[in-house]
Amino acid sequence: MAGFDAIDVIRAKRDGHRLSDDQIRWVVAAYTQGVVPDEQMSALLMALFFRGMSADELSAWTRAMIDSGERKDLSSLGRPTADKHSTGGVGDKITLPLAPLVAACGVAVPQLSGRGLGHTGGTLDKLESIPGWRADVHEEAYLRQLRDVGAVICAAGDDLAPADKKLYALRDVTGTVESIPLIASSIMSKKIAEGADALVLDVKTGSGAFMKNTDDARTLARTMVGLGAAAGVRTVALVTAMDRPLGRSAGNAVEVAEAVEVLAGGGPADVVELTLVLAREMLAGAGRDDVDPADALRDGRAMDVWRRMIAGQGGDPDAPLPRPSETHVVTAPATGTLTRLDAFSLGVAAWRLGAGRARKEDPVSAAAGVTWTAGIGERVTAGSPLLELHTDDGGRIPRALEALEGAIGVDSADRPLPLVLERIDTV
């Protein structure tokens, strides 16, 4: 690898110059291999944070991150593949019904997922509340399950964009997470390396999202669609609401239970709607827009795939889910229409109850979380139960209640966002 001096790369970006493809390729590879130390990469990340990246720089940076590991080839499966990525939200359990649903329609879904950090939950943490279920699947079993069942949701191995693992950990402690090009390259390097033919991005906006502001969410969505298209992956993004949480639950086991309700043909209307909207996009991207996923939800085919997908990773789909040792009910403050149920506040409450982690080494509680009895736009009655807090440690309840102060509005002036704000398929 042609060598550069890291300090020259840092100075160039600090002073607002464009980095060359070779400089980018070198610095990402050298950092991944430990040749460039954390302090120099921290300085470069901060320079990138303030100076941004041109489209060419961003595409070279993303390619360098993909090339730090292996780009998977799923062509041996002999059927189209599609994946979905959500930028993260509260109560966002959509992957759980979506992956088996799309697989039931003939498109394989290779989902390499992460764990939760902060107030948004992680798909693997949720699935681990199913007794016996394992997130670690080795390469051979991964391909076998994709071939036999059609869907796998598991932890990404060390060979998937290893540069991102190191860079993300460093961004987390250097105040450089909230940069659109760094977020876009981080997400897209992993998703492109995963090898699916089509990708659907669910970019959340609102208090419970990374991108609080809709214009930022739109910019992130466009940036990621551009990176996907440049890498030959059919990519569509939907900008969706995260001013309130999705469904009626946020946490781990409570979200699995809700996903199973959806697969059984019931479940909250917003979760069903978003699952079907995203399924249609994934099927269209994979060339199967002739199939209606609503049929597979209605006739139980998606549920069959779910059961086989869970069993394939050691889980017992019939086992009772963990129950909390303590619960606490919060009643509706007034009678009227529920107009505010703040996503961020509910996410923080679920996290404080034990559903999420503050550091990536922390354990999570399977039974912890929050459920609610009414969604935005529904009638509530003063004094009747609205929220139920679930935890294994009653000492956590007061701090969760603090997080919920001001989270509920009845007949307030809040204007909830539409569930799907925008669809973006070109840059």
Residues identified as active-site: 85, 164, 171, 186, 190
Q: Does 380 bind ligand URA (CB under 6 A)?
A: no
Task: Select from 247, 244, 252 the least CA-distant residue to 391.
Answer: 252
Q: Which of these ranges, 1-9, 17-25, 177-185, 296-304, lies near ligand URA under the rule CB under 6 A?
A: 177-185
Q: How far is the CB of 3 from ligand URA (least distance, A)?
A: 28
Contact predicate 38/169, CB 8 Å: no
Task: Select from 368, 364, 318, 369 the least CA-distant residue to 131.
Answer: 318
Give the Cα-Cα-Cα angle 109, 115, 117 (nearest 5 degrees). 140
Q: Does 193 bind ligand URA (CB under 6 A)?
A: no
Nearer to ligand URA, 120 or 275 (CB): 120
Q: Which of these ranges, 16-24, 179-187, 211-219, 385-393, lies near ligand URA under the rule CB under 6 A?
A: 179-187
Nearer to ligand URA, 178 or 393 (CB): 178
Q: Does 186 bind ligand URA (CB under 6 A)?
A: yes
Nearer to ligand URA, 32 or 391 (CB): 32
DSSP code of residue 321: P
Q: Which of 27, 47, 117, 187 binds ligand URA (CB under 6 A)?
A: 187
Q: How far is the CB of 199 from ligand URA (least distance, A)?
A: 14
Distances in Å between the Cα of 51 and the Cα atoms of 8, 13, 40, 46 are: 16, 7, 16, 9
Name the residue number minimizing CB distance to ligand URA.
186
Distances in Å between the Cα of 196 and the Cα atoms of 51, 75, 146, 205 are: 32, 9, 12, 25
- Give the whole-angstrom CA distance, residue 117 versus residue 128: 15
Q: How far is the CB of 194 from ligand URA (least distance, A)?
A: 12
Nearer to ligand URA, 187 or 262 (CB): 187
Q: Does 168 bind ligand URA (CB under 6 A)?
A: yes
- Give the whole-angstrom CA distance, residue 244 versus residue 208: 7
Q: How far is the CB of 177 from ligand URA (least distance, A)?
A: 6
Beta strands of 21-70 (E only): which ranges? none
Three-class SS state of 420: strand
Three-class SS state of 390: strand
Q: Which of these ranges, 45-53, 182-190, 302-310, 344-352, lies near ligand URA under the rule CB under 6 A?
A: 182-190
- Give the whole-angstrom CA distance, residue 10 versus residue 19: 9
- Give the whole-angstrom CA distance, residue 360 versus residue 337: 39
Q: Which of these ranges, 15-23, 153-161, 178-186, 224-232, lies near ligand URA under the rule CB under 6 A?
A: 178-186
How many other C-beta atoms lie within 10 A of the C-beta of residue 14? 15
Burial of 320: CB neighbours in 10 Å, binned 0-12, 13-18, 19+: exposed
Nearer to ligand URA, 215 or 405 (CB): 215
How many other C-beta atoms lie within 10 A of the C-beta of residue 185? 31
- Residue 86: beta bridge partners? 202
Q: Which of these ranges, 139-147, 175-183, 352-360, 394-402, lies near ligand URA under the rule CB under 6 A?
A: 175-183
Q: Does 61 bind ligand URA (CB under 6 A)?
A: no
Nearer to ligand URA, 4 or 168 (CB): 168
Q: Does 183 bind ligand URA (CB under 6 A)?
A: yes
Nearer to ligand URA, 64 or 404 (CB): 64
Please provide the size of the chain in residues: 427
Q: Does 214 bind ligand URA (CB under 6 A)?
A: no
* Residues engaged in binding ligand URA (CB under 6 A): 168, 177, 182-183, 186-187
